[in-house]
């Protein structure tokens, strides 16, 4: 199962993930309820940005956080220790397919499936880890849900570079629209999906800064070198596209993006 991370393992990417988690905490996590004592698996915890949200929003859970990257796990441990110093987390460097025989009440998967070449296989493996009546929550974005003012073909072109590069790496940055059928195909019951929309304009400065600038534009900028090396755009075209994206975060600009959250049961 390929798990290439198109954005790279950099300090800038760690900051972006942390900013994103803080800015979108209620949007992504609102309504989820894991009771104290529940055993919860975070599959693909990365640098711990979402781990902090799980721990602070669901006190008393027994959390197991796994990731394939030792470097990311080290950052996650440090980040969680700094923000939630009394947190009890079982950290593991592991592939989700290596957890055979374990049982969890809930599984949480956020921004992971988009990087996998076989998301149904991953979801099927996770289903075998859930106790009867357990739930899986999957959250993913869809980069083609991004639309903005002022309109710009140049800005759209740099976004498409990210879409194309992620596809070449074996992933799918448009996977948000597919989370319901993917969970259905993996054998989950009672699958329900819903859009979680971000809209930002100058009357919502926290979203303009936290999402438009520090999450979305930063995400696109993370693939600049790869896009130029692949010949997808010239340096001049890239600069024009980023400049036009930045105009959506200025007075008079607007930005819209949709995440999708789905819950399935065993």
Dump pLDDT digits (tens) for 121-172. Answer: 999 999 999 999 999 999 999 999 999 999 999 999 999 999 999 999 999 9
Mean pLDDT of the 228-235 span = 98
- Is residue 5 included in any domain, yes or no? no
As for how many domains the chain has, the answer is 1
Residue 21, pLDDT score: 76
Residue 18, pLDDT score: 74
Q: Is 70 exceeded by the pLDDT of residue 2? A: no
Residue 116, pLDDT score: 93
- Is residue 144 included in any domain, yes or no? yes
The pTM assigned to this predicted structure is 0.92
- SS3 readout for 143-181: HHHCEEECCCHHHHHHHHHHHHHHHHCCCCCCHHHHHHH
Mean pLDDT of the 26-33 span = 93
Q: What is the CATH number of the domain that holds 119?
A: 3.40.50.150
- Is residue 159 included in any domain, yes or no? yes
Which pLDDT band holds residue 14 (cuts at 50, 70, 90)? Answer: low
Least confident stretch, 15-19, 65-69, 142-146: 15-19
Residue 11, pLDDT score: 66
Q: What is the extent of the structural domain holding 254?
A: 11-265
- Is residue 6 included in any domain, yes or no? no
Q: Residue 205 carries which DSSP code? A: H
Q: Is 90 exceeded by the pLDDT of residue 98? A: no
- 254, β-bridge pairs: 149
- Is residue 2 included in any domain, yes or no? no
45 within 8 A of 68, measured Cβ to Cβ: no
- Is residue 58 included in any domain, yes or no? yes
Least confident stretch, 88-102, 196-210, 227-241: 88-102
- Is residue 3 included in any domain, yes or no? no
SS3 72: helix
The CA-atom distances, in angstroms, between 185 and each of 114, 163, 179, 264 are 16, 24, 10, 11
d(CA 20, CA 216): 9
- Is residue 146 included in any domain, yes or no? yes
Mean pLDDT of the 113-118 span = 94
Q: C-alpha angle 5/7/11, rounded to 5°?
A: 110
Mean pLDDT of the 209-236 span = 96
Helix axes 70-83, 49-57, angle to 10 degrees: 40
């Amino acid at each position: 199962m390929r798990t290439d991370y198109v954005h790279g393992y950099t300090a800038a990417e760690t900051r972006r993930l942390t900013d994103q988690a803080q800015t979108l905490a209620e949007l992504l996590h609102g309504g989820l309820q894991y009771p104290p004592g529940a055993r919860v698996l975070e599959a693909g915890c990365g640098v711990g940005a979402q781990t902090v949200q799980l721990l602070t929003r669901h006190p008393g859970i027994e959390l197991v956080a796994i990731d394939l990257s030792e470097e990311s796990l080290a950052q996650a441990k440090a980040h969680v220790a700094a923000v939630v110093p009394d947190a009890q987390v079982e950290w593991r460097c592991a592939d989700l397919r290596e957890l055979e025989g374990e049982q969890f009440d809930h599984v949480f998967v956020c921004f992971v499936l988009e990087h996998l070449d076989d998301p149904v296989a991953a979801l099927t493996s996770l289903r075998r880890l859930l106790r009867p009546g357990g739930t899986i929550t999957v959250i993913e974005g869809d980069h083609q849900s991004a639309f903005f003012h002022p309109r710009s073909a140049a800005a759209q072109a740099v976004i498409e570079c990210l879409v194309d590069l992620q596809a070449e790496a074996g992933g799918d940055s448009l996977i948000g629209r597919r989370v319901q059928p993917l969970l259905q195909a993996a054998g989950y019951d009672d699958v329900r999906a819903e859009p979680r929309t971000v809209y930002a304009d100058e009357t919502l400065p926290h979203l303009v800064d936290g999402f438009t600038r520090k999450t979305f534009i930063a995400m696109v900028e993370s693939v600049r070198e790869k896009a130029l090396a692949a010949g997808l755009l010239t340096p001049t075209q890239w600069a024009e596209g980023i400049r036009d994206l930045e105009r959506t975060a200025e007075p008079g600009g607007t930005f819209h993006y949709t995440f999708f959250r789905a819950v399935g049961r065993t």
